[in-house]
Amino acid sequence: MPLSEHEQKLLEQLEKQLHEDDPKFANTMGSDPIRSWSTRHVIIGVLGAIAGILLLLVGVSMQAIPVGVLGFVVMGAGVYFATLRGAAFGKASKASKGKPGKGKPKSSFMSSLEERWDERRRDDS
């Protein structure tokens, strides 16, 4: 069911107010093509998972435990790679360029929260 003109105007006002109040949050919540599923990742991940399943079956049929364990690890890595989003690699490269020598790298979620906190504290003073 489409929105009425009044509801569309209210929605536009809310969006505009959100962009004015917290533009970083508004951009985060908006649709971002970089964060979409990568077809290449899905295909490579599925092929890796299939290869892992085959390796696991070969290990079980030969009764070779290390081969079966390796197949399970390859299968898990394939599923993990298939579920990665496109922005994961871009953020990792940006984070490594940003602040060198800071100890262990933090997750992007925590670093974005810290950046928001620091920004708000700077705005208050």
pLDDT at residue 62, rounded to an integer: 93
Burial class (CB in 10 A: 0-12, 13-18, 19+), 53: middle
* Average pLDDT value for the chain: 77
pTM value is 0.45
pLDDT at residue 76, rounded to an integer: 94
Percent of the chain exceeding pLDDT 90 equals: 30
- How would DSSP label each residue in 48-115? HHHHHHHHHHHHHHTT-HHHHHHHHHHHHHHHHHHH-BTHHHHHHHHHHHHSTT-SSPPPHHHHHHHH
Phi, psi of 85 (to 5 degrees): -95, 165
Residue 119 lies in a domain: no
Model confidence pLDDT, tens digit, residues 62-120: 999 999 999 999 999 999 988 886 554 544 444 444 444 444 555 677 778 788 878 88
What is the domain extent for residue 68?
37-87
Residue 61 lies in a domain: yes
Smallest CA-to-CA distance from 87 within 35, 14, 12 is with 35
* Structural domain total, the chain: 1
